[in-house]
Amino acid sequence: MEFKFGGSETNQKTILGHPSGLFVLFFTEMWERFSYYGMRALLVLFLTAAILDDSGWGWERAEALVLYGWYTGLVYITPIFGGLIADKLMGYRKAVVAGALLMTLGHASMALEITSDIFFYVGLGLLIVGNGLFKPNISSMVGQLYKNQGKEKDAGYTIFYMGINAGAFLGILLCGYIGESVGWHYGFGLAGIFMFFGMLQFYFAQKIFARIGLSPKETVSFDNAIENSLKENIKKVEKVIEDIEKSKVTKDRLIVIGVFSFFTIFFWWAFEQAGGSMTIFAADYTDRILVGNGAIIFKVFNTLLTIVPMIIITGVLVMLFKQTFSKYSLSNILLGTSFVIIWGIVIWMLNREFGKETAEVNASWFGILNSFFIIAFAPLFSKIWQSKFNPTGPIKFAIGLILLGIGFGILAYGTLGIPLGAKTASVSMLFLIFAYLFHTLGELCVSPVGLSYVSKLAPLKLVGMMFGIWFVANFVANLTAGFTGSYIDPIVEKYGMTSFFLIFTVIPFFAGLVMIILNKTLLKMMHGIR
């Protein structure tokens, strides 16, 4: 029987027109991103918080941003090794489970920071290594669910990206709130709990993928002798054609991946200011105290902002239950339990905040806007990518870079009134909100599209490694972002906050224009891949 999608018979049951296995990966990635972004939202704030009053480490901004840059950079360099290990030895599925376990232990170690500083650094190390095994390989599995390389795969990656940002949304919201309001180590620990749930639900549902994600040795054991013989004969017949065409076609497509990877550096270099300099801007330069009607409006808005995505995600969960519960009941029960806990924490948080007369918006709260906008706009972008209005990959990248620049342009305009060298200010929150909106729209044009094109352009045996190379670009971007952000104080003192944000306005905008110029050349080098 010929299946439309890769994986088992159960995987052929669709949810929103996509295979059920996509949503197993959706929730696994969601909990991993919950843990990653939940911890990341707290990192700089914890390091710069006062030692006595706030139980932080009292670091200078520059020191904290450099460590932030190294951490966020290294979590993107280790995937190249994780991809190679999976491609040659472990297979994607074992790598995902091992990575999730290491990250669970990493968060647990960071939760013990209150007893010894060494646990903090050990935790960061475990998170970096675990992420290297997890991140490239779960993305590779998404690509292998689809047998064709067309619009359907692009849409699948966009939905997968919605899961990424659902996790980021919940992680920043809940870990950020508990870390800032209750205690830093509680926030770090909460991140690990749901990483553990994500690991278990994936482990007990992995048979839905059939041969997808198995190690090379395991994959061979599934193939019978007749099939192997047939493949060998086909290879002999096609070898002459492959010798003529494959080298040039493969070379050109790998070059395109390299170009996309290079330009994604400019995007993430600017975008990742969100967890660094933009977090500092939110904490020290933004008016976050609301009283009277303003406080009431924010509480209502924050409630809707929290509840609506939770309802949407829970709806997706119910659809997955309907398709897979009979086959993978334990996985579904574990996933359902995690949602019961999440709903409990959400209700507790909202009830706690509504009991206060005033509303102080946590600095980490602004980070959820990116994820909220992803959840809100990802379905729309998915439909556009499947329509006749679907632009080419290079044009999508160009649009994303330009939108990112516009977002920083809004911040540059909003900070015109901040005097040189000011350590604090009270800029309206609206500028940050609109900046995050444009950054998110730009992200939807770059990140899920980039993941899809790596999957489509890379040779099958090199998919994991090429995803690793893609993440190396992210390493360069994040490391550079941290170091650039660490100069926020000297730049603000000498040139002003507006000049600081203009740096991140001009460079992405220019990079976007270059991508438009390269569009036709890159299309030719894709050799039919759209």
Q: How confident is the model over 436-484, as pLDDT tens digits?
A: 999 999 999 998 788 778 878 888 777 767 777 777 888 899 999 999 9
User: What DSSP line would sit under 7-66, residue for residue?
Assistant: S-SGGGSEETTEEHHHHHHHHHHHHHHHHHHHHHHHHHHHHHS-HHHH-S----HHHHHH
* Inter-CA distances, 218 with 197, 211, 221, Å: 26, 8, 5
Average pLDDT over residues 363-371: 87
pLDDT at 79: 81
Beta bridge partners of residue 360, listed in sequence order? 289
Q: Is the dihedral of CA 461, 136, 394, 267 positive or negative?
A: negative
Average pLDDT over residues 59-75: 90
Residue 7, sorted as left (phi over 0), alpha (psi -120 to 50) or beta, turns out to be: left
pLDDT at 463: 73
pLDDT single digits (tens) 96-115: 999 999 999 999 999 887 77
pLDDT single digits (tens) 497-507: 999 999 999 99
* Inter-CA distances, 65 with 114, 184, 335, 430, 487, Å: 21, 18, 35, 24, 9
pLDDT at 229: 45
- Which residue is listed with tokens 């007749």? 226
- The CA distance from 322 to 216, in Å, is 32
- Structural contact between residues 7 and 145, judged by C-beta atoms closer than 8 angstroms: yes
Average pLDDT over residues 378-383: 81
Mean pLDDT of the chain: 86
Q: What is the pTM of this model?
A: 0.79
- Which residue is listed with tokens 């939110």? 282
Write down the domain spans for the chain: 17-526
Q: CB-based burial of residue 293 (10 Å sphere; 0-12 exposed, 13-18 middle, 19+ buried)? A: exposed
- 53, pLDDT greater than 80: no
Domain covering 17-526 in this structure, CATH number = 1.20.1250.20
pLDDT higher for 2 or 187?
Answer: 187
